[in-house]
Each structure stands twice: as structure tokens, then as C-alpha cells.
Amino acid sequence: MNFDKLKSEWDKENTDINIPNTIDQLKESKHPIEKIQKNMKKEFIMQVIAIILIGLFPQQFKFPSSQYIIYYTSYAMLVVISSYYLFGFYKFYKQTELYTGNTKNSLWKIYHELKLNMERYQSFGFLLLPHFLITIGLFIYNTLVQTGKSFSDLTNSHIFTLILIVLIGTLAVVTSIILWTKYLYGRDAKKLENILNDMEEE
């Protein structure tokens, strides 16, 4: 049904019947969904490139070949976790493409799926932390070896400083993931929520 045409016809007849704003609101919801789709497309490509580049870290940081087994075992787990997440990410992207903006129920579904995927996005980021901690550990170890030292040569104050740096770094990464998720999808999720709330009030 062409609601714009129907409204125009009724306006011409000067009837007292008004078309509710619901249709306009559903059309308005298309804009944040289109922004979400655009962000998802860019993010997907960036993540695939990032995963490929992470696989080259041993060569970039000049890890000895004896450490490859440690690194690539961790990397294999990262790839499995990433594949699971990216598949879910792709499925949600395809769902947004099917959204036509003609029913409130479909908009609610997109909104709830978006909130769920925001949670998944954050969980995915948190699950990558162990791999990066292993990478940092290997990097520090190799740096010590190059200077003729080992972990046993570190003083208590050095160990304490190292633990503190890891804790602060981990907290910074977790905070960054949460803020990045809100930056990418939070504002558009809020717009959808406001549109749905306005529709409920009418």
C-alpha cells in the first residue's frame, strides 16, 4: 500500500481523517539503519585485514622460529573465535538489508538484534585480550634475551611495574572497546529506541 499516495488523496478530499505519523517514523528509522549498515561494512573489512596482519606479527617482531608454535597456537584460537563472531556479524548485516521500514515489529527486531550484536562485539574484543597478552609476553621475553637477561633477572620492582603496566593496559583496552562500540553503534541504537518509544506513545 502506498501510504504517501493515500494521504495525498485524503488531503485533497479535505476529510478530517489524519494519517498517523507512524509511517513517517518508520521511514525515518531507515536513516540510522543505513548508517549502521555503512559502519558494519567498513568494520567487517577492517577486521578481516587486521586478523591477517596479526598473523604476520612473529615476522614483524622478529620472534625466533622456536616460538612460532606458541604464537600460532594462540593465533589459531583467535581465528576460530573471529570466524564465529564475523559470521554472526555478517548474518546481522544481511538482516538489516531485508528491513523495509513498513512494520513496527520488524523495527523492534532490528533494534534488539543491534543491542545483542553490540554485546557480542564487546565480548569479541575481550576474547582477543589473551592472544595480545601472549604476544606482549613473547615480545618482552625476546627483548630481555637480546640484552642478555631473562625473567629471573628482573627485580621485584621491575616485576611489579610490569604487572601494573599489563593491568593498566588491559583496563585501557577494555574501556576502548566499550567506548568504540558506543561510538560506532550507540548513537544509532538510541535513535531507533527514541523512534520506537514515540510510536508506542501514539
Judge whether residue 10 has pLDDT over 50. no
Q: Is residue 111 part of a domain?
A: yes
Domain for residue 55, yes or no?
A: yes
pLDDT of res. 182: 87
Structural domain including 124 reads 29-196
Look at residue 198 and tell me whether its pLDDT is greater than 80.
no
- Residue 178, pLDDT > 80, answer yes
Q: What is the total count of domains within the chain?
A: 1
Q: CA distances (Å), 76 to each of 68, 107, 123, in order?
A: 12, 37, 18
Query: Which of these, 83, 60, 76, 49, lies nearest to 138 by C-alpha position?
Result: 60
Average pLDDT over residues 110-118: 86
Residue 82 lies in a domain: yes
pLDDT of residue 3: 42
pLDDT at 77: 92
Q: How far apart are CA 91 and CA 62, in angstroms?
A: 38
User: Which is more confident, 184 or 56?
Assistant: 56
The predicted structure's pLDDT at residue 149: 80
Q: What pLDDT was estimated at residue 27?
A: 55
pLDDT in tens, 32-69: 778 888 888 888 899 899 999 999 999 988 899 999 99
Beta-carbon contacts of residue 156 (< 8 Å; ≥ 6 apart): none
Report d(CA 161, CA 163) in Å as an integer.
6
Percent of the chain with pLDDT over 70: 81
pTM of the model: 0.72
Asked if residue 15 is part of any domain, the answer here is no
- Note whether residue 146 is domain-resident: yes
Contacts of 188 (CB under 8 A, 6+ apart): 32, 33, 35, 36, 39, 114
Q: For residue 9, is pLDDT > 60?
A: no
CB of 118 within 8 A of CB of 185?
yes
Query: Which of the four pLDDT bands, split at 50, 70 and 90, describes residue 13?
Result: very low
Q: Is the pLDDT of residue 16 over 70?
A: no
Structural domain includes residue 21: no
Per DSSP, helices labelled H in the chain are 3-12, 22-28, 30-54, 57-60, 68-98, 104-127, 129-146, 156-181, 187-201
